[in-house]
Amino acid sequence: MKPLLEVKDISVEYVGEKRNQALEKVSFDVKSGEILGIIGESGSGKTTLAYSILNLLPESAKLKGSIIFKGSIITEFKENKLCYLRGKEIGIIPQDPAASFNPVFSVGYQFNEFLKVKGICKDAEERLVLMEEALNKACLWDVNKILNSYPHQLSGGQLQRAMIALVIAAKPSLLIADEPTSSLDVTIESQLVHMFLRLRDEMGFTIIFITHNLGLIEALCDRVVVLYQGQVKEMADKASIIAAPRDEYTKSLVVSFREVGE
């Protein structure tokens, strides 16, 4: 079977006062229905990778290589075609939920706006049903309260789940989660892990999960890409990476992960 997303030899360079090679010949693929973990420490190029898939990089970044999504090379797409892809085909869950909602509009308004603008659902009544469904999938049961609240009235966990609901409401084929839990408590983190698993198992979402926490990878992912200083160090099944890391960097990662636990 053809993979859903293929990333071939992606290089990203920031051109500025000093040149900075953020990614160097990164290649991997994502199969339909799997959770692919991308692990790396800060500065390894994780976020750059996430944004380069949808070409959301700042102007100073120069991207080389090709990204193939559902058989078409999206790196060659024009802006308006990419715009269509964003949200509808590929959804991004950002790191900080508080920063990704506009503080002056209620969550429901922004949710509604997204569905309307993206043309996902034309009818107002249907949109309401759709929103409720999506929120329920994201483990938010008190739908009316969430929709009528302003971002500052909700906790970080609720906001992040509302964000996830917003993203999955468009039923994208691919979800990119960029450290969705790193600003949240362990209690909420644990809950989100199970939510992601349910999204995959029950609704067949394909997820790229970006994190710096090996524990999350262990709990959540099927395959892992280890990113270090912009290069792919290792790519394998979760079990084999944690049990028998081959690369030096992966080894040190596993060692420090074990050390925290003891």
Partner 1 sequence: MNFWQQFKRNRLAVTMFRLLLVLYVLAILADFFAPYHYDDDDVMHAWAPPTRIHFLDIKQKVITPYINPYTFSTNEYYRRIYSVEKNVLIPVRFFVKGFKYNLLGIWSTDIHLFGVENGRIYLLGADDRGRDIFSRLLYGSRVSLSIGLIGVAISFSLGMIIGGISGYFGGWIDTFIMRVVEMIMLLPGFYFLLALRASFPPEMDSRQVYLLIIVILSFIGWASLARVIRGMVLSIKENEFVFAARALGLTHFRIITRHILPNTFSYVSVAICLSIPGYIIGEAALSFLGLGIQEPYASWGNMLVLSQGIVTIEAYPWVLAPGVAILITTMSFNIIGNTLRDVFDPKRKIL
Partner 2 sequence: MDLLDIQNIKKYFKQPWGINYALDGVDMSIKEKATTALVGESGCGKTTLAKTILGFYRPDSGKILFKGEDITDVKTNNKLVRENIQIVFQNPFLSFNPRYTAFATLYEAVRAMNNISKKEVRGFLVESLNSVGLGEEFFFRYPHQMSGGELQRLSIARALINKPKIVILDEPTSSLDISTAVNILKLLAKLQQEALLSYFFISHNLKLVKRIAHYVFVMYYGKIVEYGLKEQIYGFPRHPYTKLLLDACEYKMKDYPASGSKHKQGCVFREICPHSKDICGNEPEKTEIEPNHFVFCHFV
Which residues form the interface with partner 1 (CB under 8 A)? 14, 16-17, 58, 60-61
**Cβ proximity to partner 1, 17 vs 76, nearer residue:** 17
Q: Are strands 72-73 and 61-69 parallel, antiparallel or unpaired?
A: antiparallel
58 binds, among partner 1, partner 2, none (CB under 5 to 8 A by kind): partner 1
* Smallest separation, CB 215 to partner 2 (Å): 7
Cβ-based burial of 120 (10 A; exposed 0-12, middle 13-18, buried ≥19): middle
In angstroms, the Cα distances linking 148 to 98, 152, 172 are 16, 12, 25
Per DSSP, the residues of 38-72 read: EE--TTSSHHHHHHHHTT---TTEEEEEEEEETTE
Q: Between residues 12 and 192, which has the closer beta carbon with respect to partner 1?
A: 12
Select from partner 2, partner 1, none the partner in contact with residue 14, using the beta carbon and a kind-dependent cut-off of 5 to 8 Å.
partner 1
CB of 54: closest distance to partner 1 in angstroms? Answer: 16
Smaller CB separation from partner 2, 20 or 213: 213
Question: Please, which residue, 1 or 260, has the CB nearer to partner 2?
Answer: 260
Confirm if 10 and 49 have CB atoms less than 8 A apart.
yes
Which of partner 1, partner 2, none does residue 71 bind (CB under 5 to 8 Å by kind)? none
| Residue 220 interacts with which of partner 2, partner 1, none, CB < 5 to 8 Å by class | partner 2
In the DSSP assignment, the letter for residue 170 is T
Query: Do residues 194 and 160 touch, judged by C-beta distance below 8 A?
Result: no
Q: At what angle do helices 186-203 and 156-169 cross, to 10 degrees?
A: 20
Interface contacts to partner 2, rule CB under 8 A:
41-43, 139, 155-158, 185-191, 193-194, 212-216, 219-220, 252-253, 256-257, 259-262
- Is the separation of the CB atoms in 59 and 230 below 8 Å? no
16 interface partner picked from partner 2, partner 1, none, CB below 5 to 8 A per type: partner 1
